[in-house]
């Protein structure tokens, strides 16, 4: 359906007004001729750049991240057709908040986001750690003693550490920048989700072993939609995902990316 | 006109013309030229400034648009990523530009990602505010990104500062303004110099020619190389010579207008006929000052008086551009109403189009009031003339009828149209006409010397249309109309009067007769009472007296012969009394119509014999010689008893009044079918008193000698009444030699066969 709409907008430039109106009329007939419960129903799976959960804009079509794969598998089992759409993270979660057909494949819950989304199901739990190239930093107290800690600007971890009274934070917009800064010794530690940090570090091609401290906090990862998303469809997705979590199928999707992570 | 304009004809244009020419033409031109140049230069400068201001606005928009275009990629990226830091950086950099007051970036969800406002804002100069405005302009630039299906990720908003370009604009504006004015002044001075040389001096020369009358009479030499101004000079001289003549004519017309007592106004037909000119007479008539009427429609003079037929004519004349002459009621300023004789004449231009209307007005209130009172009087007189019951006609000196009122038609049947112009004898008989011929003769004299009342009231015979004659009372009078005498005849129908008079005479006669009858009856009653008191008492006294004597005297005291005598007296008195009562009863019976007559065949001889037999006793007692003379052998059909009664009474009377002669004669004669019987005595003769009142009962002669003869006066009355019942007639005649003849004339009925002789 989205393809038809786009075709119409492009074609309208060449069509005369009457032809365009005729086309819109035919489109209207098509819309009302097809039941909304049929397999033509479309859901948009919105993802961002947070590997390995979401592999970013330049990922291959069959490796968009395990969170994308999990939801896409759930949709497949539900018999719903889906498309995927990449957005920068802030646009991604804002788009899902305002759209009625979009599903955010993975998102952390926090008080700010809580009332604006329908949280379908938890897929897994991420561990927030300080990453270093030598001695592990295992607590917040140890972290405060460091000279500088790299975080992503505006991320959940940024907010967490700021509230915890950290004043030694160096904020950048992308995780790979912090990886490079850590590799170059410009920061003492790098605060990030463990799986994400490992994927970014390996993807950046650094050979030095990345040491992860004890978890500072954990964060459950959820599949979420906007409040306008159809409730019955949301519940169907949630049930299917919960079933995948319960029977351990989720692990297989995650393992596919961990095991194939760059060395 | 202009010299006396305020006091006479009010004309705005003339007042304009009267303004003194105190300014030199050159100076006026200079001032006008410089002022015009300054104004034009100023206007052009302002236009240039305005045009520059529009350019400044466009330049500002173009500059801001370019800036927005430069940062649009960065701003789009910030909006796509919802990167507030990047967005803030963009807007902070934008407000560094002096043309931008504020900048903001909003995402496609409606949220503002970043906004910045410049802290200091220069004041906008006044002239820049006037031409550019001081309200900031807003520029929006859509932010697009290809990774978003809708294409739009937000918008960049810029608030542009007009003050940024204000100072440079003001500088340019001053240069344009001052430079434009200076250039215009220099140009106007140059043109003024040239114009003064080529035109002004010659025009001033021409003005001198125009203003100097003596110059007009001079011959102007033609220049060697004449141009348009030379032609204008020649034409102007000729035109002004004509204009002076026309002006003199206008002055004369103005003087005439002011001299007239008629109000004159001129209205403009193209402007709802408002008054453009009014003379002093109009102001005097209306009571309005000039400034209150100039520019106004004349309707204000008819306020509250719109319902007039004349106003409709005025409106029709104004609408149809025709002449009209009406008299209407108008209102003065003080509210009083006056009659206005208004004449409206349309004024047309050379194309025939009505441009003005001239209204000439006269206050005719006095005349109208007189006419109205005259009309009222005329109506009243006409009503009197029409309603009077007497016919009224007027006749001219040729005896032709001039006027006829409706009463004539009712009285004589003639309609006015049949009589007017007809000769007078149409209405009169000859004798009436003769009278008027005499009157006509009188009219040939001096009309003014004629008496107002021509004749006394006279009764004439008027001629009805159907030919009948009607008695009419006529009174004549006259008046003089246009030097000719006119006679007024008032005709009164006397028919009823005559009828009433005749009835009155008859009634009077009847009443007189009845009065006489009543008096006679009264007198008869008196006579009856008088006679009866005597005639009744006498026999009754005798009867009573003798009866008392017979009853009171014993037989011894009254001898038998005396007794017998007394009894005879009583018997005679009783008979006399019975006879008298019979006569009274007969007369009463006769007065009541009597017993029904029974005519029967009888012989006059037999009747006379019967009469003589009835009167035998008195004839013998009086020893009267009764002689019957004439032919008594006549048969007639008559009531025997009534005839006998007549003759008995006449014969008895003749015997009683025969006096010493002792002879009574009965003479019989016939004349045609009448029988005449004369009963004649030779006594003293009857008096005129009795002759004239023959038939009245109880009538006794006043002559003492006759009155002493016994009788109650019923004999003649009975005889007369019976004769009249028989259809005859009884008359009494006193003879010169003495004695009376009573003549009875009765009709002789059929059967004239001679009666048997006795």
Condensed to tens digits (0 to 9), the pLDDT of residues B349-400 reads 988 899 999 999 999 999 888 988 999 999 998 898 888 888 998 888 788 8
Contact yes or no for B230/B222 (Cβ under 8 A) = yes
Q: Please give the pLDDT value at position B702.
A: 67
Give me A68's structure tokens: 């994308």
Q: Over pLDDT 70: what percentage of chain B?
A: 84
Q: How confident is the model at residue B14 (pLDDT cuts 50, 70, 90)?
A: very low
Chain B residues lying within 8 Å of A98, measured CB to CB: 109
Cis amide bond preceding A243, omega within 30: no
Chain B residue with Cα closest to A86: B147
Q: How confident is the model at residue A139 (pLDDT cuts 50, 70, 90)?
A: very high
DSSP B308: -
Contact yes or no for B424/B391 (Cβ under 8 A) = no
**pLDDT tens per residue, range B226-246:** 777 777 777 777 777 777 788
Of the candidates B482, B524, B570, the residue with the CA atom closest to the CA atom of residue B721 = B524
Give me A246's structure tokens: 């319960």
Three-class SS of residue B478? Answer: strand
Whole-number Å distance between alpha carbons of B422 and B579: 81
Q: Report yes or no: B151 at the A interface, CB cutoff 8 Å.
A: no
Of B80, B85, B149, the CB nearest to A91: B80
Of the candidates B640, B645, B715, B629, the residue with the CA atom closest to the CA atom of residue B677 = B629
- Of residues A79 and B217, the one with the higher pLDDT is A79
Q: How many CB atoms lie within 10 A of CB B99?
A: 19
Left if phi > 0, otherwise alpha if psi is -120 to 50, otherwise beta: which for A165? left
Give me B128's structure tokens: 């820049």
Chain A residue with Cα closest to B146: A87
Phi/psi of residue B276, nearest 5 degrees:
-110, -15
Averaged pLDDT score across all residues of chain B? 81
Residue B376 vs residues A148, B479, B637: alpha-carbon distances, Å: 131, 21, 84
**What predicted TM-score, i.e. pTM, was given to this entire model?**
0.39
Q: Report yes or no: A87 at the B interface, CB cutoff 8 Å.
A: yes
Instruction: Please check the confidence at residue A145 and state whether its pLDDT lies above 90.
Output: yes
Q: Please give the pLDDT value at position B434.
A: 40
Whole-number Å distance between alpha carbons of A114 and A107: 11
Instruction: Please check the confidence at residue B529 and state whether its pLDDT lies above 60.
Output: yes
**pLDDT tens per residue, range B637-695:** 888 888 988 999 999 989 988 888 888 999 998 877 888 999 998 888 888 888 887 87
Contact yes or no for B164/B99 (Cβ under 8 A) = yes
Q: Where are the beta strands (DSSP E) in B36-164?
A: 100-107, 112-117, 137-144, 152-160
- Of residues B344 and B659, the one with the higher pLDDT is B344
Instruction: Please check the confidence at residue B444 and state whether its pLDDT lies above 50.
Output: no
Q: How many CB atoms lie within 10 A of CB B634?
A: 20
Stretch A242-249: mean pLDDT: 93
Q: Among B149, B151, B153, pick the best mutation site for testing chain A contact (most A Cβ within 10 A).
A: B149
- Which region among A52-66, B551-565, B582-596 has the lowest average model confidence (pLDDT)? B582-596
- Of residues A143 and B243, the one with the higher pLDDT is A143
Rounded to a whole number of angstroms, the distance from the CA of A99 to the nearest CA of chain B is 11
Q: How many CB atoms lie within 10 A of CB B211?
A: 11
Stretch A74-99: mean pLDDT: 94
Q: Report yes or no: A40 at the B interface, CB cutoff 8 Å.
A: no
Residue B532 vs residues B522, B535, B584, B592, B654: alpha-carbon distances, Å: 15, 5, 10, 21, 22
Give me A124's structure tokens: 């897994």
Q: Please give the pLDDT value at position A258.
A: 76
Q: State the Rg of chain A over Cα.
A: 21
Give me B107's structure tokens: 């995402």
Of B82, B147, B148, the CB nearest to A90: B82
Per-residue buried b or exposed e for B243-252, using 16+ beta carbons within 10 Å of the residue's own CB:
eeeeeeeeee
Rounded to a whole number of angstroms, the distance from the CA of A167 to the nearest CA of chain B is 19
Q: Report yes or no: A173 at the B interface, CB cutoff 8 Å.
A: yes
DSSP B301: G
Chain B residues lying within 8 Å of A173, measured CB to CB: 83
Residue B156 vs residues B65, B68, B516, B625: alpha-carbon distances, Å: 11, 8, 152, 189
- Tally A–B CB contacts below 8 A: 24
């Amino acid at each position: 359906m989205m393809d038809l709409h786009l075709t119409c907008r492009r074609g309208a430039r060449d069509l005369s007004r009457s032809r365009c109106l005729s086309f819109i009329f035919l489109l209207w007939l098509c819309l009302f001729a097809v039941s909304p419960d049929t397999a033509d129903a479309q859901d948009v799976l919105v993802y961002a750049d947070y590997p390995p959960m979401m592999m970013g804009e330049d990922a291959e079509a069959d490796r968009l991240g395990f969170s994308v794969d999990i939801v896409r598998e759930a949709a497949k089992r539900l018999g719903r057709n889906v498309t995927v759409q990449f957005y920068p993270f802030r646009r991604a979660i804002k788009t899902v908040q305002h759209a009625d057909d979009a599903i955010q494949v993975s998102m952390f819950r926090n008080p700010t986001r809580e009332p604006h989304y329908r949280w379908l199901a938890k897929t897994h739990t991420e561990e927030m750690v300080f990453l270093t190239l030598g001695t592990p930093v295992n607590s917040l107290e140890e972290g405060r003693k460091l000279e500088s800690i790299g975080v992503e600007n505006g991320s959940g971890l940024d907010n967490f550490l700021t509230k915890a009274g950290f004043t030694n934070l160096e904020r950048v917009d992308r995780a790979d920048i912090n990886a490079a800064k850590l590799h170059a010794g410009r920061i003492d530690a790098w605060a990030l989700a463990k799986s994400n940090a490992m994927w970014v570090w390996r993807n950046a091609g650094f050979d030095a072993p990345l040491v992860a401290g004890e978890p500072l906090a954990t964060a459950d990862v959820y599949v979420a939609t906007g409040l306008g998303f159809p409730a019955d469809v949301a519940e169907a997705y949630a049930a299917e995902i919960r079933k995948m979590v319960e029977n351990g199928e989720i692990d297989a999707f995650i393992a596919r990316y961990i095991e194939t992570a760059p060395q | 006109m202009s010299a006396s304009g305020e006091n006479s004809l009010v004309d705005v244009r003339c007042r304009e013309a009267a303004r003194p020419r105190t300014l030199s033409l050159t100076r006026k031109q200079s001032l006008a030229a410089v002022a015009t140049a300054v104004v034009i230069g100023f206007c052009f400068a302002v236009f240039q400034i305005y045009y520059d201001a529009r350019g400044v606005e466009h330049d500002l928009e173009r500059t801001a648009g370019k800036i927005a275009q430069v940062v649009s990629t960065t701003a789009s990226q910030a909006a796509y990523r919802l990167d507030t830091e990047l967005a803030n950086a963009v807007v902070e950099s934008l407000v560094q530009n002096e043309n931008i007051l504020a900048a903001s970036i909003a995402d496609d969800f409606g949220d503002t990602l970043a906004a910045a406002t410049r802290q200091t804002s220069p004041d906008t100069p006044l002239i820049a505010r006037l031409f550019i405005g001081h309200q900031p302009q807003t520029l929006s630039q859509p932010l697009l990104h290809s990774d978003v299906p809708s294409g739009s990720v937000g918008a960049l908003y810029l608030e542009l500062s007009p003050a940024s370009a204000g100072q440079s604009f003001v500088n340019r504006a001053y240069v344009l303004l001052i430079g434009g004015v200076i250039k215009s002044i220099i140009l106007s001075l140059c043109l003024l110099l040239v114009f003064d040389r080529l035109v002004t001096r010659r025009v001033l020369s021409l003005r001198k020619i125009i203003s100097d009358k003596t110059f007009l009479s001079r011959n102007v030499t033609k220049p060697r190389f004449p141009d348009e101004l030379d032609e204008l000079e020649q034409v102007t001289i000729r035109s002004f010579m004509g204009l002076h003549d026309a002006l003199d004519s206008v002055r004369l017309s103005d003087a005439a207008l002011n001299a007239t007592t008629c109000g004159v106004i001129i209205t403009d037909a193209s402007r709802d006929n408002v008054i453009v000119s009014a003379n002093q007479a109009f102001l005097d008539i209306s009571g309005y000052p000039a400034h209150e009427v100039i520019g106004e429609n004349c309707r204000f003079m008819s306020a509250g008086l719109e319902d007039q037929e004349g106003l409709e004519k005025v409106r029709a004349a104004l609408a149809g551009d025709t002449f009209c002459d009406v008299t209407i009621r108008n209102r003065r300023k003080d509210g009083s109403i006056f009659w206005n004789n208004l004449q409206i004449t349309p004024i047309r231009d050379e194309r025939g189009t009505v441009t003005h209307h001239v209204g000439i007005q006269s206050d005719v209130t006095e005349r109208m009031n007189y006419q109205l009172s005259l009309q009222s009087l005329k109506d009243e007189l006409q009503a009197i003339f029409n309603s009077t019951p007497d016919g009224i006609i007027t006749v001219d000196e040729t005896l032709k009828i001039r006027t006829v009122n409706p009463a004539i038609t009712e009285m004589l049947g003639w309609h006015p149209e049949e009589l007017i112009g007809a000769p007078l004898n149409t209405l009169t008989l000859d004798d009436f006409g003769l009278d008027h011929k005499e009157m006509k003769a009188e009219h040939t004299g001096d009309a003014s010397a004629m008496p107002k009342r021509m004749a006394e009231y006279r009764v004439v015979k008027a001629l009805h249309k159907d030919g009948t004659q009607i008695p009419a009372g006529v009174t004549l009078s006259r008046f003089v109309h246009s030097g000719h005498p006119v006679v007024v005849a008032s005709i009164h129908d006397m028919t009823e009067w005559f009828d009433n008079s005749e009835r009155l005479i008859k009634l009077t006669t009847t009443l007189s007769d009845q009065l006489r009858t009543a008096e006679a009856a009264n007198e008869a009653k008196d006579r009856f009472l008088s006679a009866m008191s005597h005639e009744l008492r006498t026999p009754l006294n005798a009867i009573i007296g003798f009866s008392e004597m017979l009853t009171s005297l014993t037989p011894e005291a009254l001898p038998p012969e005396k007794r017998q005598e007394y009894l005879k007296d009583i018997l005679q008195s009783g008979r006399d009394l019975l006879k008298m009562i019979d006569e009274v009863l007969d007369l009463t019976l006769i007065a009541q119509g009597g017993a029904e007559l029974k005519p029967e065949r009888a012989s006059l001889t037999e009747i006379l014999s019967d009469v003589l037999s009835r009167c035998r006793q008195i004839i013998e007692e009086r020893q009267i010689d009764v002689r019957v003379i004439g032919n008594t052998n006549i048969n007639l059909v008559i009531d025997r008893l009534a005839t006998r009664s007549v003759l008995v009474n006449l014969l008895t009377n003749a015997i009683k009044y025969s006096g010493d002669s002792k002879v009574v004669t009965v003479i019989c004669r016939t004349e045609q079918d009448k029988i005449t019987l004369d009963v004649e005595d030779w006594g003293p003769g009857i008096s005129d008193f009795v002759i004239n009142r023959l038939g009245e009962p109880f009538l006794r002669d006043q002559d003492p000698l006759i009155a002493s003869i016994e009788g109650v006066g019923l004999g003649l009355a009975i005889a007369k009444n019976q004769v009249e019942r028989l259809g005859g007639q009884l008359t009494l005649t006193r003879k010169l030699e003495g004695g009376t003849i009573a003549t009875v004339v009765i009709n002789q009925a059929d059967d004239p066969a001679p009666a048997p002789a006795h």
